[in-house]
Amino acid sequence: MTSDLVRNLASRGVKGDFKFTDARSLRLFVEGVKGLRAFENSAAESSLSAAEAKFQECVFQYPRDVLPQFYLGIVKVFRRYDGFDDAIRIFGSIARDIPELRAAAMYNLAAAHIELYSTESLDLARDWLEKCIAELGEDKAVEKLTLRFQARVLLLFYEIRQRLWVKRREHPDTLKDERERTVPELEAKLDEFLKQLNAATRIPDAARSDIMADYWNCRGILEEFRAWTASGENHRTELALSSIRYYTESLKWKLNWIPPKSNMARVYMDLLKDFEPANQCWQEVLQLRPGDNYAEYQLGRLHEEKGDATAAEAHYKKAPHIPETKKHLARLYEKLGRADDAVRLWLEILTQHLDDEDALEAQVRLGFPTPTPASGAGPKA
């Protein structure tokens, strides 16, 4: 293998000495890696499709070659809702059966679960990251050291999101402990992480860029929480602009990366009420990843707040994978006097979650009967 390819493998936590059946298998794999690298640099859909085609052909024709399967799993994570099941299956099998790739597969399992963004999936991501770090131990090999930093920064993301950001809309009076203890604690963890990362000089440049992008995105999320809970409009605006600067810094390290771009748009929309740059950011997200459900959902919210119900409905309908979308659309129908459409959506929600408080309130408000629960439906998450 070329030294460039070996460095790319190391940045994924892979040692790089896996065998290929023949020269054609290796060629397909290298072409797939080039396509994946092009996608990560540009977010161009054509590059991702090209990478996926090469890896799939290689896996189909050479099922015993492990690295093409591993990289096909990475592509499937980028495919998001259309690829998560495949990615989780691929990395689960590798984590179980291939000791040399176990830690790297655990890390990528975590990445797939993070992309799903449910409470359950995020907790699963945390568990896989902890298993990954335990599997790596104190090994100082460059690929192990790199993967350990990659896993640690995702754990920081999990902590900041779950311990702070998810509480951002709660009344500030109830968040005294979070502001006075949790924020300084997590800021100190971020400072220590950056200090250790700067001291680790052997990490490949590509991996360091990814880690730094994650790091600044974490800083932005923490600052965004501080903005939500700030006292005084001027202080809130100052902190919101500070979070945007952190998200912008993240994008300097990883061009066209969706998470900080989406986060920046959300700050413009929800904290600064500046709809034009928010809309521009969401449109850029959709250019990079057509059909991005989170962007469509947020555009629905944006247009609803601006009073354009037709545009809001259109965007909400394009975000079926975002759980909150159905409720927003149901409430929109209520405001428009479309009671039958609203009842239909509230019934769908209650069919899945008979104890959903919002749907139960709508049932009282609109006077519709309790539905028969769906087979295997569980309680509200």
pLDDT in tens, 188-247: 999 999 999 999 999 999 899 999 999 999 999 999 999 999 989 999 999 999 999 999
d(CA 78, CA 226): 30
User: Where is the domain boundary, 137, 154, 183?
Assistant: 137
CATH number (domain holding residue 112)? 1.25.40.10
Task: Judge whether 335 lies within some domain.
Answer: yes
User: Which three-class secondary structure string do you get for the chain?
Assistant: CCHHHHHHHHHCCCCCCCCCCCHHHHHHHHHHHHHHHHHHHHCCHHHHHHHHHHHHHHHHHCCCCHHHHHHHHHHHHHCHHHCHHHHHHHHHHHHHHCHHHHHHHHHHHHHHHHHHCCHHHHHHHHHHHHHHHHHHCCCCCHHHHHHHHHHHHHHHHHHHHHHCHHHCCCCHHHHHHHHHHHHHHHHHHHHHHHHHHHHCCCCCHHHHHHHHHHHHHHHHHHHHHHHHCCCCHHHHHHHHHHHHHHHHHHHHHCCCCHHHHHHHHHHHHHHCCCHHHHHHHHHHHHHHCCCCHHHHHHHHHHHHHHCCHHHHHHHHCCCCCCHHHHHHHHHHHHHCCCHHHHHHHHHHHHHHCCCCHHHHHHHHHHCCCCCCCCCCCCCCC
pLDDT bin (cut points 50, 70, 90) of residue 182 is: very high
Query: Is the residue at 299 inside a domain?
Result: no
The radius of gyration computed from the CA coordinates of the chain, to the nearest angstrom, equals 22
The residue with greater pLDDT, 290 or 59, is 59
381, pLDDT greater than 60: no
How far from the centroid of its chain's Cα atoms is residue 102's Cα? Answer: 22
pLDDT in tens, 12-23: 778 767 889 999
130 and 1 together in one domain: yes
Indicate the pLDDT class of residue 185, thresholds 50, 70 and 90.
very high
**pLDDT at residue 84 tops 80:** yes
User: CB count, 10 Å around CB of 22?
Assistant: 10
Same domain, 107 and 166: no
User: If pLDDT is split at 50, 70 and 90, which confidence band does 5 have?
Assistant: low
How many domains does the chain divide into?
A: 3
The residue with greater pLDDT, 82 or 347, is 347
| Structure confidence at residue 16 (pLDDT) | 63
Judged against a pLDDT cut of 60, whether residue 378 lies above it is answered with no
What pLDDT, on the 0 to 100 scale, is given for residue 255?
83
Q: Does one domain contain both 20 and 132?
A: yes
CA distance 118 to 167: 15
Q: Choose the weakest-confidence range: 124-133, 284-293, 371-380.
A: 371-380
pLDDT at 132: 97
Is 210 within the bounds of a domain? yes
> Structure tokens of 119?
């409470």
- Whole-structure pTM value: 0.88
Average pLDDT score over the chain: 91
As a whole number of angstroms, the distance between CA 155 and CA 360 comes to 36
User: Can you give the pLDDT at residue 272?
Assistant: 97
53/4 same-domain check = yes
Domain boundary among 112, 137, 162: 137
Residue with tokens 């500046």: 274
Which candidate, 87, 106, 86, places its Cα nearest to that of 96?
106
Give the domain extent around 200.
Answer: 143-247
Given a contact cutoff of 8 angstroms between Cβ atoms, the answer to whether 321 and 289 are in contact is no
172 — pLDDT class (breaks 50, 70, 90): confident
pLDDT given for residue 7 in this prediction: 66
**72 shares its domain with 192:** no
With vertex at residue 68, the alpha carbon angle to CA 90 and CA 59, rounded to the nearest 5 degrees, is: 80
CB 29, CB 68: distance < 8 Å: yes
374 has pLDDT over 60? no
pLDDT-derived band at 289 (thresholds 50, 70, 90) equals confident
**Would you say residue 116 lies in a domain?**
yes
* Model pLDDT, residue 290: 85
pLDDT for residue 379 is more than 50: no
Answer yes or no: is 287 within a domain.
no
| Span of 298-307, 326-335, 351-360 with lowest mean pLDDT | 351-360
**How many CA within 13 A on the CB side of residue 288?**
20
Exposure on the CB side of residue 140, measured as CA atoms within 13 A: 3
Average pLDDT over residues 35-60: 89
Same domain, 172 and 243: yes
Residues 156 and 78 in one domain: no
Considering 212, 228, 247, which residue would you say is the last residue of a domain?
247
Amino acid 6: pLDDT: 66
Q: What is the pLDDT of residues 91-149, one digit of tens each?
A: 999 999 999 999 999 999 999 999 888 888 999 999 999 999 999 999 889 999 999 99
